[in-house]
Amino acid sequence: MKKIFITFFISITFLLISWKYNEVKFDDPNKDKLLIELLKYVLEKGHYQSQDINDELSKKVYRSYLDMIDPQKKYFLSSDLKEFKKYEKAIDDQWLSYDLTFFNLTYERLIQRINEVEMFLPSLFKTSFVFDIEENINVDFENLTFSKNDKERKDRWRKQLKFSMLDLYDIKILDQNKSIELNENYVRKSNSELLEESLKIVNDNINDIFDLMNDLQRKDWFSNYVNSFVNQYDPHTTYFKPEDKDRFDVNISGRFDGIGARLQKRDGGIEIVQIILGGPLWKDKKIEAGDEIIKVGEPGEEPVNVIGMRIDDAIKLIKGPKGTVVELTVRRKTDNEIKTFPITRDEVVLEESYAKSTLIKKDNKTFGLITLPKFYVDFNDSKEINCASDVKKEIINLKKEGIEGLVLDLRNNGGGALQTVVDMTGLFIETGPIVQVKSIGNRKKVLFDKDPSVLWDGPLVILVNQMSASASEIMAAALQDYERAVVIGSDNTFGKGTVQNVLDLNRFLSNSDFDLGALKITTEKFYRINGGSVQLKGVESDIVTPNTYSHIEIGEADEKNPLKWDQIDKAPFIKWDGYYNLESVINDSKLRVSKNELFNLIDQNAKWFSERRENKSYSLNYDTFKSKQKNDKLKLKKFDKIKDYNNNLNFNLMSDKSSKIKDTDEYKESRKRWHNRLKSDIYIDESINILLNLKTKKIENNNILAKVG
């Protein structure tokens, strides 16, 4: 697959360079037009499926773009839409001719409307919010029309603020009642005081939102416009402006060089909201979560004031290569004192992205569980950072503890790097095809595991759900086709059967003074080794278990513009013939699930949750709100058993972390939370039941020999 894409990249580079030198100068000051020109050509030559740029596409782009920039219809007026409407069938022509008339019109109008809303909001906060009149708020934004005039828009915002206040006000009443019960000296506040406190929180939240909105620049809105086009090819083809490309790289590798903190803008400053375990700030212990960064500098240089700065720009100043020093001037949350601290940047590892394992004891037997949140890899250093090698280490450690079965948890794993799937699947089979890949021009390639060694040849269960996608589906499908693993979980996995590659658009330019970002483009579709596509249909579980989202439409089929399902010839492969009782174990598990009281309760809860989501209208009357809340609580009471469930399994969490990290309160708390989640997980319990009964022929033959002996 890599060779195919490299061939495409080289050919498109030559084509583009020769084409561009004749058409456009690379020092063209109009970056937006150059970006469109480049994207149009790359999509035409590189996307898996060609797209006609015509009036039909124009109408889709029109709807998509407006949904992106004003999804809740809170800013534009119907008069704006009437003006925009005349461009509905002209956007395709503007795209082809690099004409930005429609974008410029909508961008300028949006900024105008946002400023208008920001101007009238303070007057709404001066309004007395009364909760004893009967009125409703409609949150069916998809079918909601735009406000006819400013008065209607103001009323829409008033209801939104009131809706936000309603819940806060109720929480404050409940908290006060609890405080009175616990403390007889507690001074009761009046309802008006509680309302005022709720109003202040809503006001602060709205101000934070508008701070973020005001931080957005023209390029951010233009990125939305561009994506309204590229998303028409398929939902996974996406344009990344430069900052988004950096975030994508961190997401796929789980590592970055920096100070080890999560930041957010608050009151004009940059607040540290979380310090990442093992990172420079965590090691230094001088700066705490809640402290505010007000200046950033390099040693010997004048520091830069970041108050009022866009958070993306502040992060650029803070991040830097491993081993370099950044000087942070912070306002301490504890005493408001301002101090400057030198911090040596280092590699930061996002532990929640990485594989981790635990031992599980049941009926005097030991099993292993490996949780894999994503198929991560650092493309610049795949030998060092690679989920396949990490999972391999976890299996080796678990085997040392004498496990008799293994659960691989791929729930909520949205995928990642394709090659890691091939390497990881190879840990469980001898040799053979793992996945088939079809690219432009119907070229087909089969990716094989060529290593005959098998790291784990014992019983294997794979846990999935509706959010197991892409690489997760490849692995589950391959091991299911080989009959190597039992797949347990939702009816179907997500159904993303496409492969994307990330193209740095700057590689097509020479002597450019600006950064064009990157394009994540769908270049291939992948297929199971049995020939069927995972696209739209996903992987069907061998054993279906209900979950909270069982009755909600989640998956590729519910995305806009997905590629179609199809199938190709199967790849020759030999099924794994290692299980003694696979079919009967699957049937027994299905029977257990169908008779299990808790699973049936989970299914009922999922139905209730789905029905509740259908409600798009909410009362803003406090008594009606409380009445509905009371009814909901009564209905939810029967589902308390789900929250109280304990699988009574014994877990022994494993770690390859240094004792310096393992001995910290933060690490212990993190592992404790994971442990508690595992204890309340019925899906792991059923997975262990399967492993208890699933016998490999090797084990069964050993048992027979032992009896004979």
Instruction: Give the mean pLDDT of 422-426.
Output: 95
Q: pLDDT per residue over 503-559, tens digit each?
A: 999 888 776 667 889 999 999 999 999 999 999 999 999 999 999 999 998 999 999
664 pLDDT band, cuts 50/70/90, is low
Length of the chain equals 709
- What secondary structure, in 3-state letters, does 230-279 show? HCCCCCCCEEECHHHHHHHHHHHHCEEEECCEEEEEECCEEEEEEECCCC
Helix (H, G, I), strand (E, B) or coil at 430: coil
- Mean pLDDT value of segment 261-274: 79
Distance between CA atoms of 565 and 533, rounded to whole angstroms?
6
Token pair listed for 614: 């259908």
Q: How many CB atoms lie within 10 A of CB 267?
A: 11
In this predicted structure, the answer to whether residue 20 has a pLDDT above a threshold of 60 is no
pLDDT of residue 404: 96
- Say what the pLDDT of residue 18 is: 35
- Dihedral angle, C-alpha 604, 608, 613, 619, nearest 10 °: -170
What percentage of the chain reaches a pLDDT higher than 90?
Answer: 56
pLDDT at residue 706, rounded to an integer: 43
Spelled out in words, what is the top-level CATH class assigned to the domain 356-698? alpha beta
Q: Band the pLDDT of 686: cuts 50, 70, 90.
A: very high
Q: Tell me the average pLDDT of the chain.
A: 87
- Give the model's pLDDT for residue 351: 65
For domain 255-349, the CATH class is mainly beta
SS3 track for 167-206: HHHHHHHHHHHHHHHHCCCCCCCCHHHHHHHHHHHHHHHH
Give the separation between CA 137 and CA 128, rounded to whole angstroms: 17
Return the pLDDT at 380.
Answer: 67
Reported as a single tens digit per residue, the pLDDT across 139-193 is 999 999 999 999 999 999 999 999 989 888 888 888 888 889 888 888 899 988 9
- Rg of the chain over all Cα atoms, to the nearest angstrom: 28
Residue 525: Cβ-neighbour burial (10 angstroms; 0-12, 13-18, 19+) = buried
- Cβ–Cβ under 8 Å, residues 129 and 161: yes
pLDDT given at position 540: 97
Element (H, E) at 588: helix 582-595
* Range(s) of the chain covered by CATH 3.90.226.10: 356-698
Residues of each domain in the chain carrying CATH 2.30.42.10: 255-349
- Pick the residue with more confidence: 209 or 124? 124
Answer for the pair 104, 87: CB distance below 8 angstroms, yes or no.
Answer: no
- 579 touches 558 (CB < 8 A): no
